[in-house]
């Protein structure tokens, strides 16, 4: 079933970490397997923030040897960063297997990301100036507590509670997906994509990589491909309605935008709230009410509806 | 059924009551829950176990800290105490609020509800001063539901009777599998509204999305605005004087009468090329529908 949520403030920042946690916790019943956030801060002086995982959560239960493997993988990441001339300003080992780097880099971040992902077991969750992508097993309270998200200040964010139907219960199949290697673009999705393999093969032929067998990852790769080829976010969303088969509602966030698209059947839910300074959306109204307890006006977007909002 | 009083029925267990009402629950016979009709039996318009409530006896429930189950249980308890007007405060998007009420009641919900709000009703009058999510009023047998704001998709799914009214706009698949009753929408409705509807009427004062009335068996859809496209076997029909009179009465009743009257409404019915049960015996129709 899965639950998705998004919020964006116009021209100001707020505690989007805590607000997204409240929304996703309200959607826990739609997906108890994993929870993910893509939240957008204000960046730090042009530096990049890179989030990665060096193992799956379940790998930590496979004996003490995993710690040595983790150390080797992280050392390999550091070596590649040094090789690419990245200046690491901050390195935070948030959990045993998840790390957050703040770094400055003048070169090709896409190339650097590709090299890092050549390390067996390492996956970059996000890389960008504003984006911080966090996902792990458990509900929103668990993940927010583990990654100290409840005081994250930013302009916008999207989130996801996952009920695994198409692929495994693990972090690599959890949402959101970073639109590798396109900085600051992330996707969450609720639905099933029925031409997944056809579209995936097409994307792979064009040189894109997939880290999971989750159909939602396709939307991230597809969006990255479109944006890299000069489309606006709105054009990419519009094109997806024509090219992607299935039932879906998905949200895309960029450094300063948040967009939504709904399939041709309007088979997957989304409730929208819009005010002068805040737009909030979720699979269920109960999530919006978690941050806006007062009486508000909300509505369901229709089939094939595309919307994009600016931070 | 004959010879069993309401007082006796009230004292019975559910199983005894089912048998006394002529129903049988044997399994694997293919005839579970059929009713043996007795032509001498008195017609029952209310359920024998329905509480005797007084509309002038009013109370409020603050649902903010309550679960849906607690809210619905509390409604039952208050009805058993004779309260005929119950106001729910702070529903805050909870799902399945006020479902399964099978007797007269004035239920007022001050705020917005989530999915499956006030479904499976048979008798109450409900006013929701907010918005509702998907499948509001699903399977209602009788009563009225009035929503002051917008509603989500599958509004009035499988509706069997009563009036379901939304002053705002509703989502997609409004009245899907509708089997009776009336759905009235003050604003627009989304794609596939009236999909496979079998009986009843849908009135949309605004615009309708694509594939309106797709695969409908029967029933009537009236649209005041534009229709994006008709579905398979949905066809336009002539608006008759009876239709005008009915539309005028219903829209006036719910204060949704357009300033320009009802002459501009488009009437959509089943073309009956896809499904046509007109030649069947009534009992055969009943089996199918």
- The span from the CA of B182 to the CA of A63, in Å, is 64
* B32: confidence class by pLDDT, cuts 50, 70, 90: very low
- The CATH class given to the B54-288 domain equals mainly beta
- Kindly give, in sequence order, each residue whose CB lies less than 8 Å from that of residue A19, ignoring residues fewer than 6 positions away: A7, A157, A291
In three-state secondary structure terms, A16 is helix
Output the CA–CA distances (angstroms, integers) from residue B122 to A176, B118, B159, B250, in the order listed: 43, 10, 11, 20
Contact between A15 and A151 (Cβ < 8 Å) = yes
- Residue from B90, B94, B172, B173 to probe the interface with A (highest A Cβ count within 10 Å): B172
pLDDT single digits (tens) B201-252: 999 999 999 999 999 999 999 999 999 999 999 999 999 999 999 999 999 9
Q: Report the share of chain B in percent with pLDDT over 70.
A: 86
pLDDT single digits (tens) A252-286: 999 999 999 999 988 999 999 999 999 999 999 99
Whether residues B130 and A295 touch (CB distance < 8 A) is answered with yes
Domain residue spans of chain A: 3-38+140-310, 43-129
- For residue A293, the model assigns a pLDDT of 83
- Which residue among A266, A286, A298 places its CB closest to the CB of B190? A266
Whether residues B168 and A299 touch (CB distance < 8 A) is answered with yes
- Burial of residue A113 (number of CB atoms within 10 Å: 0-12, 13-18, 19+): buried
Calculate the CA B212 to chain-centre distance.
Answer: 20
Whether residues A303 and B209 touch (CB distance < 8 A) is answered with yes
Cβ-based contacts of A266 with chain B (< 8 Å): 153, 171-173, 190-191
- Residue B24: is its pLDDT beyond 70? no
- Residue of A2, A188, A221, A258 with catalytic role: A2
**Residue A297 contacts B, CB cutoff 8 Å:** yes
Cβ-based contacts of A269 with chain B (< 8 Å): 133-134, 152-153
**Residue A284 contacts B, CB cutoff 8 Å:** yes
- Which residue among B93, B152, B170 places its CB closest to the CB of A289? B93
Whether residues B112 and A299 touch (CB distance < 8 A) is answered with no
- For residue A110, the model assigns a pLDDT of 87
| Average of per-residue pLDDT across B77-93 | 96
pLDDT single digits (tens) A157-198: 999 999 887 677 888 888 899 888 778 889 999 999 999 999
**Residue B167 contacts A, CB cutoff 8 Å:** no
Judged by phi (left if over 0) then psi (alpha if -120 to 50, else beta), residue B274 lies in alpha
Q: Could you give the residue range(s) of every CATH 2.160.20.60 domain in chain B?
A: 54-288
- The span from the CA of B103 to the CA of A157, in Å, is 46
- Burial of residue B11 (number of CB atoms within 10 Å: 0-12, 13-18, 19+): exposed
Contact between A288 and A280 (Cβ < 8 Å) = yes
pLDDT single digits (tens) B183-192: 999 999 999 9
Angle between helical axes of A215-228 and A233-243 (0-180°, round to 10): 130
- For residue B140, the model assigns a pLDDT of 95
Calculate the CA B255 to chain-centre distance.
Answer: 19
**Cα dihedral across residues A265, A268, A269, A274: positive or negative:** negative
Cβ atoms < 10 Å from Cβ of B270: 23
- For residue A122, the model assigns a pLDDT of 92
Token duo for residue B282: 């009534």
- For residue B31, the model assigns a pLDDT of 45
- For residue B34, the model assigns a pLDDT of 52
- The span from the CA of B213 to the CA of B227, in Å, is 11
- Residue from B131, B174, B208 to probe the interface with A (highest A Cβ count within 10 Å): B131
- For residue B14, the model assigns a pLDDT of 77
Q: For B131, list phi and psi in degrees, rounded to 5.
A: -110, 160
* B285: confidence class by pLDDT, cuts 50, 70, 90: low
Residues 83-112 of B with CB under 8 A from A: 90, 92-95, 111-112
- For residue A223, the model assigns a pLDDT of 94
Token duo for residue B104: 């007269």
What is the signed CA dihedral for A199, A205, A210, A213, rounded to 10 degrees?
A: 40
Strand order in the sheet with A98-104: A87-93, A98-104, A48-53, A123-128
CATH number 3.60.20.10 is the correct assignment for the domain at A3-38+140-310: yes
Q: How far is B74 from chain A (nearest CA, A)?
A: 21
Angle between helical axes of A215-228 and A196-205 (0-180°, round to 10): 40
Strand order in the sheet with A186-193: A177-178, A186-193, A246-253, A257-262, A306-310
Examine residue A225 and say whether the peptide bond preceding it is cis (omega within 30 degrees of 0).
no
- For residue B26, the model assigns a pLDDT of 56
Residues 169-228 of B with CB under 8 A from A: 169-173, 190-192, 209-210
∠ Cα A306 B170 B148 (to 5°)? 125
Token duo for residue A222: 């597809």
* B110: confidence class by pLDDT, cuts 50, 70, 90: very high
Whether residues A269 and B134 touch (CB distance < 8 A) is answered with yes
What is the DSSP track for B5-31? -HHHHHHS-HHHHHHHTTB---SSSS-
HSE of A199, CA atoms in CB hemisphere, 13 A: 22
Fold for A43-129, please state it: Alpha-Beta Plaits (3.30.70)
pLDDT single digits (tens) B245-274: 999 999 999 999 999 999 999 999 999 888
- Residue B28: is its pLDDT beyond 60? no
Q: What is the interface pTM, i.e. ipTM, of the complex?
A: 0.81
Token duo for residue A111: 């190339």
Cβ atoms < 10 Å from Cβ of B215: 17
Which H helix or E strand runs over B141?
none
| Residues of chain A where predicted confidence (pLDDT) is lower than 70 | 43-44, 166
A2 catalytically annotated: yes
């Amino acid at each position: 079933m899965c639950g998705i949520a998004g919020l964006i403030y116009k021209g100001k920042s707020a505690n989007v970490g805590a607000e997204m946690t409240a929304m996703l916790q309200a959607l826990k019943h739609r997906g108890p397997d994993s929870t993910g956030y893509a939240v957008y801060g204000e960046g730090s002086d042009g530096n990049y923030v890179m989030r990665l995982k060096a193992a799956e959560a379940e790998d930590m239960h496979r004996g003490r040897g995993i710690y040595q493997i983790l150390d080797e993988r992280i050392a390999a990441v550091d070596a590649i960063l040094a090789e690419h001339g990245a200046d690491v300003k901050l390195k935070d080992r948030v959990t045993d297997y998840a790390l957050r780097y703040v770094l400055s880099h003048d070169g090709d971040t896409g190339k650097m990301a590709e090299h890092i992902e050549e390390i067996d077991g390492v996956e970059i969750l996000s890389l960008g100036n504003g984006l911080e992508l966090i996902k792990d097993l458990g509900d929103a309270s668990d993940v927010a507590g583990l990654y100290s998200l409840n005081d994250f200040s930013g302009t916008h964010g999207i989130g996801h509670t996952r009920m695994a139907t198409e692929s495994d219960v693990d972090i690599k199949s959890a949402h959101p997906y970073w639109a590798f290697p396109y900085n600051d673009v992330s996707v969450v999705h609720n639905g099933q994509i029925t031409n997944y393999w056809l579209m995936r093969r097409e994307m792979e032929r064009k040189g894109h990589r997939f880290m999971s067998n989750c159909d939602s990852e396709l939307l991230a790769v597809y969006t990255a491909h479109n944006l890299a080829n000069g489309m606006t976010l709105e054009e990419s969303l519009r094109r997806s309605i024509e090219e992607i088969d299935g039932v879906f509602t998905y949200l895309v966030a960029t450094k300063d935008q948040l967009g939504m698209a709904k399939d041709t059947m309007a088979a997957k839910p989304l409730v929208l709230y819009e005010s002068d300074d805040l737009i909030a959306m979720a699979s269920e109204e109960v999530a919006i009410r978690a941050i806006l307890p007062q009486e508000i006006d909300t509505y369901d977007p229709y089939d094939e509806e595309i919307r994009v909002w600016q931070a | 059924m004959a010879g069993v009083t309401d007082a006796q029925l009230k004292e019975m267990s559910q199983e005894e009551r089912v048998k006394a009402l002529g129903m049988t629950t044997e399994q694997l016979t293919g005839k579970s829950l059929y009713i043996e009709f007795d032509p001498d039996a008195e017609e029952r318009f209310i359920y024998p176990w329905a509480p005797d409530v007084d509309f002038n006896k009013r109370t409020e429930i603050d649902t903010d800290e309550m679960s849906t189950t607690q809210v619905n249980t509390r409604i039952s308890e208050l009805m058993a105490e004779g309260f005929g007007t119950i106001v729910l405060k702070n529903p805050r998007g909870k799902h399945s609020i006020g479902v399964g009420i099978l007797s007269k009641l004035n239920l007022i919900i001050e705020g917005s509800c989530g999915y499956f709000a006030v479904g499976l009703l048979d008798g109450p009058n409900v006013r929701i001063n907010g918005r509702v999510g998907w499948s509001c009023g699903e399977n209602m047998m009788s009563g009225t539901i009035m929503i002051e704001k917008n509603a989500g998709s599958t509004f009035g799914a499988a509706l069997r009777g009563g009036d379901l009214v939304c002053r705002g706009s509703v989502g997609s698949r409004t009245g899907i599998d509708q089997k009776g009753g009336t759905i009235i929408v003050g604003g627009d409705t989304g794609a596939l509204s009236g999909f496979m509807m079998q009986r009843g009427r849908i009135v949309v004062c605004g615009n309708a999305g694509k594939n309106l009335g797709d695969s409908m068996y029967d029933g009537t859809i009236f649209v005041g605005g534009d229709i994006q496209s008709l579905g398979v076997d949905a066809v336009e029909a002539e608006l008759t004087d009876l239709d005008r009179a009915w539309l005028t009465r219903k829209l006036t009743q719910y204060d949704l009468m357009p300033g320009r009257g009802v002459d501009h409404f488009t009437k959509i019915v089943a073309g009956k090329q896809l499904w046509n049960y007109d030649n069947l015996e009534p009992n055969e129709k009943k089996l199918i529908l």
